Amino acid sequence: MSAYIALADGRVVEGRSRAPGTGRGELVFTTAYTGYEESLTDPSYAEQVLTFSYPLIGNYGVRDDRFESESVQPRVAVAREFTEDVAEWLESEGIPAVDGVDTRDLVTGIREQGAMRCGVAAGPDATPEQAREQLEQCVGMSDHVDIGAQVSVDGPEVYDGTGPRVTLIDCGAKKSIIDALVERGAEVHRLPYDATPAEVADTDPDVVFISNGPGDPANFTAAGAVVDHFAGEVPIAGICLGQQVVARSLGGETEKMEFGHRGLNQPVRDLETDRVIMTTQNHGYSVADPGELSVTQVNVNDDTAEGLEGVGIDVLTRQYHPEANPGPHDSLGFFDDVLAMAESPTPPVTSD
């Protein structure tokens, strides 16, 4: 069965259909060579067409205990070759899957031209015209103004613990972030992406934590309002999109990257220790100006901000994914540092 990928640059790439259907989204790539189950269930991939640069996806099967959410998140999955296990899983989820394409060429195109809109048609009756029709309906990531509603929890959830109370604003949170906090004894209150400051206050948080998620941080205004309300009064933490939301709320600016960081081997340098760690990343936006915050870590490849801290207030954020599912464990200590803020917060600055 044939499959077609219509690209915004005018090309139509033909491949093999491994799971039928049509779809559209921003075409992005990941260099991850393991962790395909985690990547495919990561809510940060919502409204995107995920291309794997590693040639064979599925060589150790599919296990749901590795999932980061309850369903596959990208609109379409593309690889050089999918195994039967992965192809059957994607079909059962209703996600079109395409392989038999030159993914090296796709990745090169994204690196040279940036992440681009695309449309996909796959199956026995698929045509290039159907793929082009999907492309015509595709919008950019910043135009998904309420993408949080697709990936957030519907209502409050509580994960019991005996340690600090962490209120997690779920903008598309990975399961492993919650697991990392619970494993350290935290009591986690998970609230929807559009929770109000009053709803957060009802949980009596020791830490307010803004999660990862898909899309443009400028569209997560409710989470930004929470940060603005509690900064200086309650410690604030954030991962990935969370870092961007926190920075914007504290006077900073964000920007869309040309093709983003998506993979398991992004090198990050700590500016204080000069130590370099390897990190897992998945984002298409970055902090261009930290505002009131201080940049403490940078990406070795392009100097983008990877870590921010508050000056006189308890704020700690990371652009990468310290929970490392999948990926290296170099940065797991971030969660210990977050909970340490809760136990010994900096007193708020007051003026006479």
Catalytic-labelled residue, pool 144, 189, 261, 321? 321
Structure tokens, 77? 């999955």
Task: Output Rg (C-alpha) for the chain, integer angstroms.
Answer: 20
Q: Is 215 annotated as a binding residue?
A: yes
Catalytic-labelled residue, pool 240, 261, 283, 306? 240
CA dihedral 208→240→71→102, nearest 10 degrees, is 180
Sign of CA dihedral 9, 12, 16, 19: positive
Q: Is 244 annotated as a binding residue?
A: yes
Q: Is 351 annotated as a binding residue?
A: no
Q: Is 44 annotated as a binding residue?
A: yes
Distance separating alpha carbons of residues 51 and 44, to the nearest angstrom: 14
Q: Is 284 annotated as a binding residue?
A: yes
Residue that has been written with the tokens 């079109």 in this structure: 96
Using H for helix, E for strand and C for coil, what is the string for 93-140?
CCCCEEECCCHHHHHHHHHHHCCEEEEEEEECCCCHHHHHHHHHHCCC
- Residues forming a β-bridge with 21: 122
Strand ranges in 108-252 using DSSP code E only, listed in sequence order: 116-123, 157-159, 165-170, 187-192, 207-210, 236-239
How far does Cα 123 stand from its chain's mean position? 29
* Residue 323 annotated in active site: yes
Q: Is 25 annotated as a binding residue?
A: no
- Work out the burial of residue 236: count CB atoms within 10 Å of its CB; fewer than 13 is exposed, 13-18 middle, 19 or more buried: buried
Q: Is 299 annotated as a binding residue?
A: no
Q: Is 193 annotated as a binding residue?
A: no
Distance separating alpha carbons of residues 20 and 4, to the nearest angstrom: 11
Catalytic-labelled residue, pool 26, 37, 68, 323? 323
Q: Return the SS3 of 279.
A: strand
CA triple 329-334-336, angle to 5 deg: 110
Q: At what angle do helices 175-183 and 333-343 cross, to 10 degrees?
A: 60
* Residue 240 annotated in active site: yes
Q: Which residues are catalytic?
A: 240, 321, 323
- Annotated binding-site residue numbers for L-glutamine: 44, 213, 215, 241, 244, 282, 284-285
Residue numbers in the known binding site are 44, 213, 215, 241, 244, 282, 284-285
